[in-house]
Structure 1
Amino acid sequence: MLVSVKVCTFLVIFIFTFVVGDEEPLSSARIIRPRCSVDKDCNPNAFCFGNDNYMPGHCKCNDGFEMFTEGKRYECLEELQLGQPCMKNVQCQVTAGALAICSGEDTQKFCSCNETVSHRVKNRCYETRYLDDFCQVDENCLLPDSQMGEDKFAICASVCSCPIGMKPSQNKKKCLEFKRLGHKCENDIQCQLFTENTVCREVCTCEAGFVRSTYLQTCLKAALKFDDPCTEDAQCSAHLEESICVKNRCSCPANYHGYLVRCRANALPGNACFDTGDCLIFKELKDKVECRRGVCSCVYGKSYDEHICLSGKSSTNLGDDNVLIASILLVSIMKVFIY
């Protein structure tokens, strides 16, 4: 029993001595394995660390130098900043981060960032992320399409995000500012973020088929025919000449009627006219009236009564002869002045 206790005690002392003496916790990346008793046992730019009268120490790189191992060989290389001449990646990574590399021609290499996955911010390399990508810090969120004077980085809020009042571009490489109607713009998205149915034509404007509202805040659908719905006159007059919005429907002012795409002055049967369009006031007269000899007249075989064309009477019976004569004289006088 006593022998067993002695054996266990010996094993504990042996393990403790091995761990403490040979496997000192690596509190720094510059602690390296080679044993030493004095500084001259170590390579250039290194010193003997942890040695005393009872046990050897380890070679450790001086401050400002980093260990590089190759098999059983080691050397302490100077820690460098981005842009400085280098020999190995490890020289660049201490100050510039793990994404820094030593790149260039064999005879002329410099510390730089690995451009395929990272970018430089001051003297450090950060992993490149774009809008809506996951991130750790703002410096990850690169905006490569930003112009001079614009922020080059987005905001990291778990994912790369644009500031309030801005939205990502289609390629996720720029934050676009909202643009109102009439303001200068770079692309359609800037306009559409603030106002629907818009496009960028140097300035934000309404797309085809829409018109700008009175207070320039929205784009309203333009009417294509009379009686289309509306809220503002501009919707009607865009394609229907002189039309206005009356009770939320595109119509014409008093004493005018719609014909094709314009408002015409009313001319009832028996009134003076320039063409048949002047005579068409309501659908009941369609195909029943025409402008003949400068007067709105019912088509042959019909007559009018209270300005309504009727069948079964001669078209020569057009009511009040005085009205007819006055209308003919008026049209004749107007033609003289026109020609």
Structure 2
Amino acid sequence: MSDSDCESLENAVCINHFCQCNGSKFCEEKLQTKVTKLGENCKIEADCNIKHSVCEDGKCKCEDGRVGSTDVRTCLKVADGLGSDCEDRVQCFTKIPHTICKNEKCACQEKTHQFNGTCFEDIALGQKCNHPGECTITPFAKCMDGECICKEGYVPNSAATKCLEIANRINDPCYEDIQCITKFGPAICKQGFCMCEDMYKFKLAKGICIRDILLDEACQFNTDCKSIDQESRLECILGKCKCRSEYVEKLGSCTSSAAYILEHTMLVIFLSIMHIHVFQ
């Protein structure tokens, strides 16, 4: 025992494990104040008529590991983390900000989400952020230079609500054109796969979509030249796309020599017949 065990008596001290009057004839029992609300004045611990409370600095407070309830009449155990049992929201947010007590369990409040055992505000792509956890409401997003953006290898969708994976190869699966355009340039997402736009073809050496070069346009290699809607009948001659030797140019396209000769012969015959009829 110690002197503190004799606090309930006036002028009492602890001598040989017994409370005795300290030079006074009488040791009267102190009048105690029964404090029933946290934060109210107290002199000794016995004044605080609240379970798990102590008298500290002249005020009734909860002991370590406990927190005052909303009505400041009960000392409740501080929750260990999300999912812990609770009666009052103060048990949750004392240790974890942005939390509530929902269905007797600690959970993140509205417009917040859980990340690594903590609740963070929901911050969308393109909005200002202060912590990496705020951006995790969007998968594959991060906080960089104070703004939520997509991680490397991902791009925002058209609505800026998702981070979509950038296609690495032509014909890779996709949802939106931006997944294809980012790496291949003039490309589109067609029927769920990346492909070059019309009049463009994929150049493996450069890894991008390059526009087809048509008849009479400048070129460097035969592979630069392509005919419209057919197997290429062009080749690069002196820096320009021209019809290959087995084709002849007609009305801006390359026609088979045999077909051209037949067509020309039929035209000559037709004109000859018309000439005969005119002079008969």
2:92 aligned residue: 141
Q: Is the 8 A contact 1:167 1:178 kept in 2?
A: yes
User: Is the CA contact 1:266–1:278 (under 8 Å) kept in the aligned structure 2?
Assistant: no
CA distance in 2, matches of 1:169, 1:198: 13
Secondary structure (helix, strand or coil) at the match of 1:98 reads coil
**1:83/1:134 CA distance change after superposition, 3 Å:** closer
How many residue pairs end up in the alignment?
A: 217
Where does 1:260-279 land on structure 2 (aligned, <5 Å)? Answer: 260-267=206-213, 272-273=217-218, 275-276=220-221, 279=224
Counterpart in 2 of 1:117?
65
Runs of 4+ in 1 over 6 A off after TM superposition: 70-74, 289-292
Q: Distance in 2 between matches of 1:277 and 1:234?
A: 31
Structure showing greater radius of gyration is 1
From the superposition, tell whether residues 118 and 306 of structure 1 become closer, same or farther in structure 2 (CA, over 3 Å). Answer: farther
How far off its partner does 1:117 sit?
A: 0.2
- Does the Cα contact within 8 Å between 1:271 and 1:296 map onto a contact in 2? yes
> Does the 8 A contact of 2:213 with 2:219 survive in 1?
no
Partner letter of residue 180 of structure 1? A
Identity of aligned residues (%): 23
Task: Give the conservation status (yes or no) of the 8 Å contact 1:86–1:110.
Answer: yes
Q: CA deviation at 1:82?
A: 4.4
Change (3 A) 1:230 1:75: same
Aligned-partner SS, 1:141: helix
Query: What is the CA distance between 1:274 and its match in structure 2?
Result: 5.1
In structure 2, what residue type is equivalent to 1:89?
E
In the TM superposition, residue 275 of structure 1 has moved relative to its aligned partner by 4.4
Query: Of the candidates 128, 138, 142, which is equivalent to residue 199 of structure 1?
Result: 142
The correspondence for 1:294, drawn from 232, 239, 242, is 239
- Equivalent residue for 2:125, pick from 181, 188, 193: 181
Which deviates further from its counterpart, 258-267 or 237-246?
258-267
Contact 2:142-2:148 within 8 A present in 1 as well: yes
What residue identity is the alignment partner of 1:170? N
Query: Structure 2, unaligned stretches of length 5 or more?
Result: 1-8, 11-16, 21-28, 253-280
Q: Which amino acid aligns with 1:131?
A: L
Q: CA deviation at 1:79?
A: 2.8
* 8 Å contact kept, 2:42–2:55: yes
SS at match of 1:112: strand
TM-score where L is the length of structure 2:
0.59
Note the 1:121-270 alignment, pairs <5 A: 121=70, 123-124=72-73, 125-129=75-79, 130-144=81-95, 146=97, 154-172=100-118, 175-193=119-137, 195-201=138-144, 202-259=146-203, 260-267=206-213
TM-score by length of 1: 0.50
Shift in Å, 1:113: 2.7
Within 1, Cα distance between the matches of 2:246 and 2:129?
59
Equivalent pair of 2:171/2:194 in contact (CA under 8 Å)? yes
**Cα distance in 2 between the residues matched to 1:214 and 1:229:** 17
How far 1:157 moved relative to its partner?
2.0
Q: CA deviation at 1:236?
A: 0.9
Change (3 A) 1:290 1:155: farther
In 1, the alpha carbon distance for the partners of 2:86 and 2:189 equals 53
The alpha carbon displacement at 1:238 in A equals 1.0
Alignment partner, residue 25 of structure 1:
none
